[in-house]
Amino acid sequence: MDINLITVGSLKSSFLEPGIQEFKKRLSRYCNLNIIEISDETVPKNYSDKDIEALQALEGERIIKKIPERTYIFALDVNGKPMTSTGFAKSLNNLQVRGYSSFTFIIGGATGLSDFVIQKADYRFSLSHMTFTHQMIRLILLEQIYRAFKINNNEPYHL
C-alpha cells in the first residue's frame, strides 16, 4: 500500500518534525509513505481575491504534476465532509476492498487549494471545523492515517 502526502511548502516548524518522524516510523509497518513537498507562493501584503486565485493556480499546477497515476485522491478542504476516526478507517478499508492500493492526500498551502485541484479529488474532507496551519495538518493527518491502520487491524491504540 502506498500513501502519498502532497504538501504545499516546506516544514518550517521544527517542533512538528519529531512527531512527523515518529508517525513515519510507525506507518512503515503498514505502508510506503511518500511525503512530497512542492514550493509555495509568497502572499503579497495587500492582496485581492484575484491574487489568491493566481497563487492557488500556480501551486495547483505543481500539485497536479505530482499526483501518481491510479491513486485515490483525498483533498483536505475546509468545506469538505468531516469524518470520525472510525469512519475514516472504514472508508480506507472499503477502498482497499474495491482494489485501491494507493492513496494520495493533498494539503494546500496558506491560501488553500485551487478549484481545479479540488475538482480532481475523489473525496474532499475536513479534519476539523477548527482552523489549523497547513504544517500542523501534516502531523494530524499522519496520526489519523496511523490510527486508521490500527483500527482496521483490530489493534489497540493509545498514545
* 108 annotated ligand-binding residue: yes
Q: What's the pLDDT tens digit per position in 97-122?
A: 999 999 999 999 988 999 999 999 99
Question: Is pLDDT of 133 > 90?
Answer: no
* 129 annotated ligand-binding residue: yes
Surface-to-core class of residue 143, CB atoms within 10 Å of its CB (0-12 exposed, 13-18 middle, 19+ buried): buried
Q: Which domains does the chain have, with CATH numbers?
A: 2-152 (3.40.1280.10)
* 131 annotated ligand-binding residue: yes
Rounded distance between C-alpha atoms, residue 154 and residue 71, angstroms: 25
Under 8 Å between Cβ of 143 and 23: yes
Give the per-residue pLDDT at 138: 95
* 158 annotated ligand-binding residue: no
* 84 annotated ligand-binding residue: no
* 132 annotated ligand-binding residue: yes
Q: What's the pLDDT tens digit per position in 1-45?
A: 999 999 999 888 899 999 999 999 999 999 999 999 999 988 888
Record the cell numbers describing residue 109, joined without a space.
498551502
One DSSP character per residue, 120-151 reads H-SEEEES-SS---HHHHHHHHHHHHHHHHHH
